[in-house]
Structure 1
Amino acid sequence: MPLWRHPLENRSWREEPRGSGSRAVLSGARQCQVVSLAKPCLPKDYIFYLEPDKLESGKGKCSYDPKVDTVSALINEELYAGVYIDFMGTDAAIFRTMGKQTAMRTDQYNSRWLNDPAFVRAQLIPDSSERNDDKLYFFFREKSADAPLSPGVYSRIGRICLNDDGGHCCLVNKWSTFLKARLVCSVPGPDGIETHFDELQDVFIQQTQDTKNPVIYAVFSASGSVFKGSAVCVYSMADIRMVFNGPFAHKEGPNYQWMPYTGKMPYPRPGTCPGGTFTPSMKSTKDYPDEVINFMRAHPLMYHAIYPAHRRPLVVRTNVNYRFTTVAVDQVDAADGRYEVLFLGTGTHAAQRGECSMLRRGLGGHGYHQGWPESCALHHTGAGQRAETPTPRSLPLL
């Protein structure tokens, strides 16, 4: 009986015969069902039946090439995925399949929307208590459409409304709320010139007591012929939403510079979710006027970029023979305060562990202090060493 084990979690798969088909059983210590907060977690096996006579298309669900960076999120029995849907790997799309809603995708072969992207993460982050405002955020990097006048790669954060139905005339069965913005992680220089880490590698979402405002940790790298290095930046949802609520990027033509759009803004504001806080009378994006849909198709990019907290990285590593590839974050309470513990994968059988001090930024909406990491002290964890949770020493909560 074959057995496979997930490399990061204590789970195992086994295949068992079942009539003409078979079934796969997922079990492990972390698979459990919570019955009551006062009672322990009860172990539970999840059984997935493989039915050979019931096949369906994988188009829009996964890429043909397993080496392509693909992300997905299953929300309300609907699959949202960032994939390449053709065999040649030229048609990148953010897809919605399965479920009861209309199958949707990004505008095909439109480099303003997606330009040879590498998808990194997809995460549902609510905007408000109104479910119709819910948005799915995609983190990715893509080729710059302005090269060679700009860096070859930009890091992006894009978002869509979960209840997007597309347009009724233009953008039929295509997202009519897709927007994206540049995600910046850079080191300010003494002469005002910033050193950028433009290649997004990984994202970790640190949940808080307010589900609308998680903390976003992101790993970036720079791999140019002159400068190589890695950095970790942290972002707030307040800063992200401020950019998405700001001006749209606009170009008069291919030889013009990007400028903020200053013309008349159609109503409702492009990117607004139907039936939400600001559009309670519009139940579908198909109810949006044509000028809104046409504006969205031509202006998916926001003018301002999203900068990290304190406008600088938490961690920077240069002139080393490795780069940061993954990040995970935990919070540790100590006698002298709370600390963020960063675990950074390097892809070289070694890891970096960081102890981060916190900067108190004021009371959140639920009466708790929301802290932002201000600095980190890294420690090397070699191959075969266990990355113990560090004992904080001199990094107090301010």
Structure 2
Amino acid sequence: MKVLSVVGTRPQLVKLAPIAWELAARGDDHLIAHTGQHYDPLLSQSLLDDLDLPAPDVNLEAGSAPHAEQTARMLTGLAPVLAHARPDWVLTYGDTNSTLAATLAAAAQDLPIAHVEAGLRSYDRRMPEERNRIVADHLADLLLAPTAAAMANLTAEGLAARAVHVGDLMLDTLKAVTHPSTGPRGHQRPPFLTDHPGPYLLATVHRQATTDDPERLAAVVAALAACPQPVWLPVHPRLAARCRTFGIDLTRGTLHPVDPLPYRSMITALAGASGLITDSGGLQKEALALGVPCCTLRTETEWPETLHDGWNVLVPDPRDLPAAASRPRPAGPPPSPFGDGRAAARIIDALAPRTVPAAPAAPLLTR
């Protein structure tokens, strides 16, 4: 079986890792096309190294650009790659512009598409991620749902016949990192865990809805700086650029900006935090799996499972953040809606019976 994975961002590399490990263990042919949507080494190469992933077979180097331009670059770059590779499956991940471009490019060539993390819905179509995931789900031939709620969403949209509940790849990778006997080794503790002992909050801010509105971004940064514990903020390149443009100082109050962390270090930092503050999707899940209370700086979440018993709370108004971040930890263990850490095996099992003989392929184009 030949699988071509299309990825482009840090979260997609986290999802890719257990797929790559599983395909390698089974001896299947796995090609990786990196769109270059995340091109900063701290968001791309460090993840490849940290998770023992092979170098991508092709890197489109699409870089940063407005939505239409970036997606067009990816479409143009992926078309010849897919035409030469002719994989049995094009595997797309999540809800990024890389996913949208891969879906459209593969559909145009009538190649089978499997969408990892299918069925998520925030029900806010102003979010580019929501639009991307809807297109990906409705064009894909196989929908790989991470949770029961995602399966219910797909059923409601008439897509149940091509959907499979497989669990969440996030948990596969998380378990491999937190239980080194089952996966890669070599934790690296971020310096602030040893240089600054005591309770702390971990924060991430990167979504367009937060960073591109100067008033909202200023309010979010002010709220982070007003939290009662030290707040360690790995600074995404988009956040750094917008703060420079808007003249927003990230070094104030209890706020401490740091460089983006490698995956293992980020998980170590999250596991040791008294709480997470984020506008990300994936970190909400990782916080729940690690039993860390979360504050999500949004009006909605595509992961409603995380809201159970107050493990995650939505904080649309930044002025409410200091109080929300100080709330008591929920009683009892967190729920476990994301499976058992064997999603990659179920995904490959779901792909294999559907594999059809492919025409001979030319060598994969490289750049």
Same fold (TM over 0.5): no
Q: TM-score, normalised by structure 1?
A: 0.24
Q: TM-score, normalised by structure 2?
A: 0.26
Higher share in helix:
2
Higher share in strand:
1
Q: Which has the higher contact order (CA 8 A, sep 6+)?
A: 2
Looking at CA atoms only, which structure, 1 or 2, has the larger radius of gyration? 1
